[in-house]
Structure 1
């Protein structure tokens, strides 16, 4: 398999879609990875496996409609494998293994059938000190946008997933790209004040547009840089509640086609008004774990 990812929106040809099969019991509060999951565990509204399986099958059906080759992880019994973007990401013709939370290592092993097709020579494993997850990394033509957190209290945040060591390592791997990092707002307790990954508060769409949430960025100048880069008229600004519901975490099949959650009424209306075809799917249950469509997909080839 020849990998090819240069941006977020070129026509998708092959993707790894996570799986909700055999996700296991509802986790304890101590075992949850993010504040939104904790909120739903406490409220007794944590998503059911059957609902999440149905939501992911709806996405699979959209991929098949557009003739996209879909790979799925091998199912590990009683193990959450929904968020395939966390475990690896592709830039150009290289797959970079994410340095994820240690107890999620088996998720990466469950895609070994795909890794075999890619070949060892095209897989990069970063040094141990480089923490990074795919939700923080966005190739955008000449740029690579990366969400990070560089505070001295980094280790106190289970929600801080990508550090500056990883930003520097990626710049060294792709010296011909402009690597632009963004400091994200982190909270272990309040999901409305937490940008778990860059794609929780920003995502490029189409050729020149973007979805953006100001409060997800710790440094206002960095948010303003994105606003100016895409142009105010090309940016859809989402509210705190819309960020909480993961409105920026849609997924592009092409420059014209976007998979979005069916309840994102304001966003989906704007997308259609701007010429996009919107494929609506139910994904509100999966969203309860602070991840949505981009989080559960790992693009391998775009043309």
Structure 2
């Protein structure tokens, strides 16, 4: 895992320091250990050394209900990741719907039962939102326009339980913020917390959240609200522009 070709602003910030690969592998293995320790089955796709963004599996697909959607990646550097996913889906006889023209990435798709929030970003188009809605007649698919410098929706908004979400309001328009405020209790993160990918936590259910130790104020706020926070170091991987949610792709969710 290295920053060889800059494709987002976080990478541009860290490109000179780059990534300590040994430490990044240790941190990723530690995340897997935490998930497996609470009974989550973790499936690893085949790794190819030259695919430096492959760790961010959230982007290459997403599951809504009983349908697996294969994303249409915007950046050429990431399109080969989909071939590995498609091979796994076909070998395991998992049916899927492929996006073939309009670009959409899983980091822009946040699911809450029959509601689906989709970030309109440089990576996900309005056309893809229309295609997604056509495939989900029993869901309400709502687009959220993101500020131009924001990579994906889950970098600024993330639902962490049935009533609660993390949010960085300056990165979306006021109408979108008010729409989300009607649905959730919103915990606002600071600019610094957003830069350190504070909203990109991994919610494990039952108010258990994996979060970065750097975001101490946010973690304390969540603790005061009754969440159980497991702080997992991820300092090397976030240099490439993603954190815990970005590194996981749920196939099956249980209530």
Q: What's 2:50 paired with? A: 78
Q: 1:247·1:267 contact (CA, 8 Å) conserved in 2?
A: yes
Paired with 1:47 and 1:103, the residues of 2 have a C-alpha distance of: 18
1:201 aligns to 2:156 (yes or no) = yes
- Deviation string for 1:67-113 (max 9, x for gaps)? 11101121112321111011111111111111102332221222356
The structure-2 alpha-carbon separation of the partners of 1:94 and 1:47, relative to structure 1 and needing over 3 Å to count, comes to same
- Deviation string for 1:118-170 (max 9, x for gaps)? 525x2001231x11000000111120000004xxxxxxxxxx00000100001
4+ runs deviating over 3 angstroms: 111-114
Paired with 1:279 and 1:114, the residues of 2 have a C-alpha distance of: 31
Q: What's 1:278 paired with? A: 229
Q: What's 2:211 paired with? A: 260
- Deviation string for 1:184-205 (max 9, x for gaps)? 001xxxxxxx221000110111
Q: What's 2:179 paired with? A: 225
Q: 2:69·2:98 contact (CA, 8 Å) conserved in 1?
A: yes
Q: What's 2:140 paired with? A: 178
Unaligned runs of 5+ in 2: none
Q: What's 1:168 paired with? A: 130
Paired with 2:200 and 2:104, the residues of 1 have a C-alpha distance of: 18
Equivalenced residues, count: 252
Q: What's 1:8 paired with? A: none
Paired with 2:92 and 2:120, the residues of 1 have a C-alpha distance of: 28
Q: Aligned-pair RMSD on alpha carbons?
A: 1.5
Unaligned runs of 5+ in 1: 1-22, 150-159, 187-193
Aligned equivalent of 2:104, options 117, 132, 139: 132
1:210 aligns to 2:165 (yes or no) = yes
- Deviation string for 1:197-217 (max 9, x for gaps)? 000110111120010111110
Paired with 1:79 and 1:251, the residues of 2 have a C-alpha distance of: 23
Aligned equivalent of 1:105, options 79, 92, 109: 79
Paired with 1:179 and 1:296, the residues of 2 have a C-alpha distance of: 24
**Equivalent residues in 2 for 1:237-256, closer than 5 Å:** 237-256=188-207
Paired with 2:72 and 2:113, the residues of 1 have a C-alpha distance of: 24
Paired with 1:197 and 1:281, the residues of 2 have a C-alpha distance of: 22
Paired with 1:117 and 1:53, the residues of 2 have a C-alpha distance of: 27
Q: What's 1:115 paired with? A: 89
Query: 3-state SS of the aligned residue for 1:179?
Result: strand
Query: 3-state SS of the aligned residue for 1:116?
Result: helix
1:54 to partner: Cα distance = 1.0
Q: What's 1:9 paired with? A: none
Query: 3-state SS of the aligned residue for 2:141?
Result: strand
The structure-2 alpha-carbon separation of the partners of 1:289 and 1:267, relative to structure 1 and needing over 3 Å to count, comes to same
